[in-house]
Structure 1
Amino acid sequence: MLSIIVALLVNLLIETSVSFSVVVPGDPVVAHVGSTVILPCWINPPENAEALEIRWYRKEFSNTFLHYKPGKVPDMPVEPYRNRTSLTPRSDQSGGLKDGDVSLRLEKLRVQDEGSFRCYVSGESSYDSEEVDLKVTALGSTPVLFLKFLDDGRVNISCKSSGWHPKPSVTWMSDERRVLHPGGVFYSREAHEMFSVHSWTAVSRSDAQLVSCSLSLKTGELKDGRMDIQGIVSSDSSGPWKALFFTLFIFALLGFGLVGFFLYKCRPGKKPDKEIVGDVNIEEPRKHAVEITVDREHLHPDLMVTKNCKIMRDGPGYDHTGEGFPYELCAFGAQRFTSGRHYWEVKLTQENTPPKNYWLIGVVKHGNFTVRDRSALTPSSGYWFLCSDGPNGFHTNTDPPVKLSLTPRPERLGVLLDYEEGQLSFYNIKESKHLLTISTRFSGTVVPLFNPGAGDQSPLIILDCTKPVKSAEESSQPLLSNNSSNA
Structure 2
Amino acid sequence: MVTGPDSLYVTLLILLHSLTSESVKFEVLGPTEPIVAVAGDDIILPCYLKPNISVEDMTVDWRNLDSTDDLVYRYQNGKNILEDQIPSYRERTSLFKEELWRGNTSLKLTRVQGSDEGHYECLIQSESWYEEIKMQVFVKAVGSRPVVSIEGHREGGMGLVCQSEGWHPEPDLVWLDSKGVSLSAGPPKTHRDIKGLYTVKQHVIVQETDTNLFTCRVSQSRIKEKVETEVYIPSE
Q: TM-score normalised by the shorter chain: which range applies?
A: 0.5 to 0.7
Q: Within 5 Å, which residues of 2 pair with 1:137-286?
A: 137-147=140-150, 148-149=152-153, 152=156, 154-176=157-179, 178-192=180-194, 193-217=196-220, 218-229=222-233, 232-233=234-235, 236=236
Aligned match of 1:10: none
Secondary structure in structure 1 of the residue aligned to 2:79: coil
* TM-superposed deviation, 1:174: 4.0
Partner residue, 1:350:
none
Aligned mates of 1:64, 1:185 — CA distance in 2: 36
The 1-side partners of 2:70 and 2:30 are apart by 20
Answer yes or no: is 1:85 the counterpart of 2:90: no
Deviation at 1:104, TM superposition (A): 0.8
The answer (yes or no) to whether the contact 1:158–1:198 under 8 Å persists in 2 is: yes
Between the aligned partners of 2:122 and 2:73, the Cα distance in structure 1 is: 10
**Residues in 2 aligned to 1:204 and 1:65: alpha-carbon distance in whole angstroms:** 52
C-alpha spacing 1:182/1:200, structure 2 compared with 1 (3 Å): farther
List alignment gaps of at least 5 residues for structure 1.
1-14, 90-94, 237-487
Residues 181 and 122 of structure 1: is their aligned pair in 2 closer, same or farther, counting only changes over 3 Å?
Answer: same
Instruction: Flag the 1:219–1:96 CA change in 2: closer, same or farther, 3 A.
Output: farther
Contact 1:49–1:102 at 8 Å: present in 2 too?
no
- Give the aligned partner of residue 120 of structure 2: 117
Contact 1:185–1:198 (8 Å) recurs in 2: no
In structure 2, relative to structure 1, the CA distance for the partners of 1:221 and 1:41 (3 Å cut) is: farther
Report the alpha carbon displacement of residue 18 of structure 1 after superposing the two structures with TM.
7.4
> Which residue number corresponds to residue 57 of structure 1?
63
Contact 1:52 1:122 in 2 (8 A): no
Q: Which position in structure 2 is the counterpart of 1:129?
A: 132
Tell me how far 1:56 sits from its aligned partner: 1.6
Mapped partners of 1:162, 1:27: distance in 2: 29
Q: 1 or 2 for the larger relative contact order (CA 8 Å, sep ≥6)?
A: 2
Distance 1:151 1:75 in 2: 61
Partner of 2:12: none
Alpha-carbon distance, 1:169 to partner: 1.0
Q: Distance in 2 between matches of 1:165 and 1:114?
A: 10
Structure 2: how far apart are the matches of 1:150 and 1:166?
A: 33
Q: What's the Cα RMSD here?
A: 3.7
Query: Matched residue pairs, number?
Result: 209
Aligned match of 1:38: 44
Counterpart in the other structure of 2:26: 20
Q: Which has the higher strand share?
A: 2
Q: Select the residue among 101, 126, 129 that pairs with 2:104.
A: 101
- Residues 172 and 166 of structure 1: is their aligned pair in 2 closer, same or farther, counting only changes over 3 Å? same
Q: Deviations over 1:154-191 (max 9, x none)?
A: 54432123343432111333444x23234123224354
Deviation at 1:225, TM superposition (A): 1.8
Aligned-pair distance for 1:46?
A: 4.4
> For the pair shown, which has the larger CA radius of gyration, 1 or 2?
1
1:212–1:191 distance in 2 versus 1, CA, 3 Å:
same
**Contact 2:27/2:51 (CA < 8 Å) preserved in 1?**
no
Q: Match of 2:162, as an amino acid?
A: C
TM-score (norm 1): 0.36
* AA partner of residue 57 (structure 1): R
Q: Is the 8 A contact 1:40 1:104 kept in 2?
A: yes
- Name the residue aligned to 1:48: 53
In 2 relative to 1, CA 129–181 (structure 1 residues): closer, same or farther, beyond 3 Å? same
Q: For 1:101, what is the secondary structure of its paired residue?
A: coil
Structure 2 stretches lacking a partner, 5+ long: 1-17
CA distance in 2, matches of 1:21, 1:216: 42
Q: TM-score, normalised by structure 2?
A: 0.67
* Residues 1:191 and 1:123: Cα distance change in structure 2 (over 3 Å): closer
CA separation in 2, counterparts of 1:113 and 1:123?
Answer: 28
Q: Say which structure is richer in helix.
A: 1
Check 1:56–1:206 CA distance in 2 against 1; reply closer, same or farther (3 A cut).
closer
